[in-house]
Structure 1
Amino acid sequence: MNKFMLLTLILPFPLSAETETLDWQVLAPAINEQQVALPPVTESQKHLLATVIQYQSRRSNTASTTAQAARESLTEQGVDVDAAIDARARYMSQAQRKAENLNTDLDGRSVSMSGFVVPTKFNGVKATEFLLLPYAGACIHMPPPAANQIIKLSYPAGFEVESVQFPVTVRGVIKADKKTELVQLVDGKMNITMGYAMEATVIEKYYRDATSATMPAHVHMNEDHNH
């Protein structure tokens, strides 16, 4: 089941007048352009299009023959191959722009957010750098979220996590700072694009009782996230 844990919460620590609570959606501003429409194709036609894309640029007779056969099959089925490939390229480009569109109005603000931290750097038993993510499982059991849903979190004082992905509430100064880095995770290294950076001043456990097995009532579940 697709489960997106969007943490809009009652904070365990008091906020100053200058600190604002952020919803994850604020980090992903909409782009003002018309949605690229993909042509209606069946699953088998998608497979044939993938074959054309995969083999048409290869310099071998076998690859060329394979691509041409797939292209001819699609044409016979009434699919405009070049138009479909062009639409796919534009769709993917637009999806990347959406994923990397950042809210620069947040730069320098003192904010509070909740999410799941994945430690990436340690000083002894305490982690000093993390990925702050909106839902559990990302980057470990599932692909990374969009870049504008990943915060590179620094906390020099160190925080001892109790599990690979640990729910916390964080307060600090945020800024839009897109970077792609090779990050060391528990299951290996991965290139991850992070849209934001935050210098944390406070990190606290999300649960009052860290052994709690259920989310509090003020944590909302959104089923729209796709694994």
Structure 2
Amino acid sequence: MKKVLLVCLSLFFTVQANSENLDIASPDLPTLDWQLLAPTVNEQDVSLPEVTDSQKRLLATVIQFQNSAESADQARVTKARKHLSDAGIDVDAALDARARYMALAQRKAESVNTEINGKRVSMSGFVVPTKFNGVKATEFLLLPYAGACIHMPPPAANQIVKLSYPAGFEVENVQFPVTVSGTINANKQTELVQLVDGKMNVTMGYAMEALTIDKYYGDAISNPVSGSNPQDGIGHKGHVH
């Protein structure tokens, strides 16, 4: 039976992913920056109307109850619309701008860079195991930061790499990042994964067949930014730039 486990990571420190700080397992391979996985979407940004916190709550009431068949809910919507209208806010225009803003944000999140297809590269990030063979994980999500839990929004699709490593990698401690090398391709796909605190549909923008997976810090190597041991500072998430 297929075991699916998405480990909830928690890490505070920052990691600089550059050639000066990384102990790359395959020095002949170019280092791929996470920013290159998120190509620019050439569309005009959508401006949202300026509203107060109380007006945001009124707009949320309209969104939540406008399609309800209950008379009490419709009364809430009518009351909220009136308050907003009295404040000079065009509710329908505001909701339309919100919808267009969210659609653009999704297109930006899911845009992928096909120019890297088939390239053998090295990357550093945080692995979240999703498939095991015994004690070793053979499939992972590679992320630019730690902190993937059901109560946290996942990274943008173009900031998630589905990593395959048939040889298997034993995750000794989930609180450290890794450096991987392999062949990467743009391959957007959505899968339902089991997190420790619930299930979540995760859209992944890329797939990589890994050649090597190595611990980023090796054994007892200090944080290249702070000089501290990576286990010392524990917060909610760390980032790989």
Question: Where on the TM-score scale, by shorter chain, does this alignment land: which range?
Answer: 0.7 to 0.9
Q: How does 1:151-190 map to 2 (within 5 A)?
A: 151-190=161-200
1:14 aligns with 2:26: yes
In the alignment, the residues of structure 2 paired with residue 182 and residue 42 of structure 1 have an alpha-carbon distance, to the nearest angstrom, of 36
CA RMSD of aligned residues (A): 2.2
Give the superposition deviation at 1:141: 6.4
What do residues 51-70 of structure 1 show as CA deviations (whole Å, max 9, x unaligned)?
01111111121111111110
Give the superposition deviation at 1:187: 3.2
Partner of 1:216: 224
Letter in 2 for 1:169: T
Letter in 2 for 1:132: L
Distance change (3 Å), C-alpha of 1:114 and 1:218: farther
In the alignment, the residues of structure 2 paired with residue 163 and residue 187 of structure 1 have an alpha-carbon distance, to the nearest angstrom, of 19
Letter in 2 for 1:57: N
In the alignment, the residues of structure 2 paired with residue 30 and residue 4 of structure 1 have an alpha-carbon distance, to the nearest angstrom, of 25
Letter in 1 for 2:90: D
Q: More strand per residue: 1 or 2?
A: 1
SS in 2 for 1:136: coil
Unaligned runs of 5+ in 2: 1-11, 228-238
In the alignment, is the contact (CA less than 8 A) between 2:15 and 2:224 conserved in 1?
no
Q: How does 1:1-150 map to 2 (within 5 A)?
A: 5=15, 7-9=17-19, 10-16=22-28, 19-139=29-149, 142-150=152-160
In the alignment, the residues of structure 2 paired with residue 160 and residue 78 of structure 1 have an alpha-carbon distance, to the nearest angstrom, of 59
In the alignment, the residues of structure 2 paired with residue 97 and residue 22 of structure 1 have an alpha-carbon distance, to the nearest angstrom, of 22
In the alignment, the residues of structure 2 paired with residue 45 and residue 206 of structure 1 have an alpha-carbon distance, to the nearest angstrom, of 46
Q: Normalising by the residue count of structure 2, what TM-score does the alignment of the two structures yield?
A: 0.83
Distance change (3 Å), C-alpha of 1:57 and 1:3: farther
In the alignment, is the contact (CA less than 8 A) between 2:47 and 2:101 conserved in 1?
yes
Give the superposition deviation at 1:139: 3.6
Give the superposition deviation at 1:7: 2.4
SS in 1 for 2:189: strand
Letter in 2 for 1:216: P
In the alignment, is the contact (CA less than 8 A) between 2:138 and 2:165 conserved in 1?
yes
In the alignment, the residues of structure 1 paired with residue 15 and residue 179 of structure 2 have an alpha-carbon distance, to the nearest angstrom, of 14
Distance change (3 Å), C-alpha of 1:121 and 1:204: same
In the alignment, is the contact (CA less than 8 A) between 1:29 and 1:101 conserved in 2?
yes
In the alignment, the residues of structure 2 paired with residue 4 and residue 148 of structure 1 have an alpha-carbon distance, to the nearest angstrom, of 20
SS in 2 for 1:21: coil
Partner of 1:222: none
Distance change (3 Å), C-alpha of 1:205 and 1:140: farther
Q: Normalising by the residue count of structure 1, what TM-score does the alignment of the two structures yield?
A: 0.88
In the alignment, is the contact (CA less than 8 A) between 1:172 and 1:199 conserved in 2?
yes
In the alignment, is the contact (CA less than 8 A) between 1:115 and 1:168 conserved in 2?
yes
What do residues 108-147 of structure 1 show as CA deviations (whole Å, max 9, x unaligned)?
1101100000111111110001010001113466321111
SS in 2 for 1:204: strand
In the alignment, is the contact (CA less than 8 A) between 2:30 and 2:121 conserved in 1?
yes
SS in 2 for 1:54: helix
